Structure 1
Amino acid sequence: MPKITIDHFMEKLEHPHKAVIQEPREFILSIDDRIKEQVKWNAPSFYLTEDFATLRVQPAPMLQLVLYAGVKKHTDPKQFEIPDPLGIVKWMAKDRCTITLTSPEDAREKMNALTPILVSWISQL
């Protein structure tokens, strides 16, 4: 079965915040020109050599950025250190965290805080 393209996925996506999902996608891709995008776990996902972020969009109206260090669980993961002056990061494990975007306005407000978070995350992969 052929992989679905991200453009096709976004075209078919039914989500109350669909317009806002495009903004973090473009933003994440702009951080580092090595970042690539694909559909994984029925969501826009990002990778360098390994997956490191997914925009969780289901169940709607969910919009959450999940950061992780590859898809395989590590037996002794290193603790990632990232700047979080706004306290928007929720840690799920040493090498996995989430940032919830509750509305289009909330997503736009958090965009500036995401830059140092993502740059730091990528540098520790």
Structure 2
Amino acid sequence: MSTDEVDGYLHTVAEPARSVLAELCALIVGCDERIRGEIKWNAPSFAIRDHFATTGVSPGGGVRLVLHTGARRRGDPRRVVIDDPGNLLEWRGADRAVVRFAGVSDVQSNAAALREIVGAWIDQTQGRAR
């Protein structure tokens, strides 16, 4: 992970969003040793081969995680199917889903499910290290 770039960005975010973003970014990076973090689309974003996750502070408060398939031409969606027994994902298309967090406790209490979701997303969009 490009910790300097992401850490630098986190220091510009006001609390409580900073703590939520920091917790979420650490969780994402911990899902796969190949993940690199950087600032793209004005927020911490994560990639292996292509970008697959972007975070952000929601205008109404809280933090969001957008899982996506990277920059693609319109009309060329890659369908992603993820097991989500906790109903955390809000699907915004066949290739994009959002998870929202009101606070650090939301990230922590859903950590196991989030790791599974991010791992499955990586499997389908990036491929796992074998």
Give the TM-score category using the shorter length: 0.7 to 0.9
List runs of 5+ in structure 1 lacking aligned partners. Answer: none
**Aligned-pair CA distance for 1:20:** 2.3
- Using the TM superposition, name which of 26-35 and 55-64 deviates more: 55-64
Code of the aligned partner of 2:36: K
Structure 1 contact 15–60 (Cα < 8 Å) conserved: no
Structure 1 residues 8 and 115: CA distance shift in structure 2, 3 A: same
Residues 63-96 of structure 1 show CA distances to partners (whole Å, capped at 9, x for unaligned) of 0110000122442323211110011101001010
**Alignment-derived partner of residue 120 in structure 1:** 120
Equivalent residue for 1:111? 111
Give the letter aligned to residue 65 of structure 1: L
* CA drift at 1:103: 2.1
- In the superposition, the TM-score normalised over structure 2's length comes to 0.84
Distance (Å, rounded) in 2 between the aligned partners of 1:16 and 1:39: 20
Residue deviations 1:92-119, cap 9 Å, x none? 0101000111222222111111111111
Specify the SS of the correspondent of 1:5: helix
Q: Where does residue 55 of structure 2 map in the other structure?
A: 55
Q: Residue by residue, what CA displacement relative to the aligned partner does 1:6-55 show, whole Å, maximum 9, x if unpaired?
A: 22111222242312221111111111111000011221110111111011
Q: Percent identity?
A: 32
Cα RMSD of the aligned pairs, angstroms, is 1.7
2: distance between equivalents of 1:102 and 1:20?
Answer: 8
How many residue pairs get aligned? The number is: 122
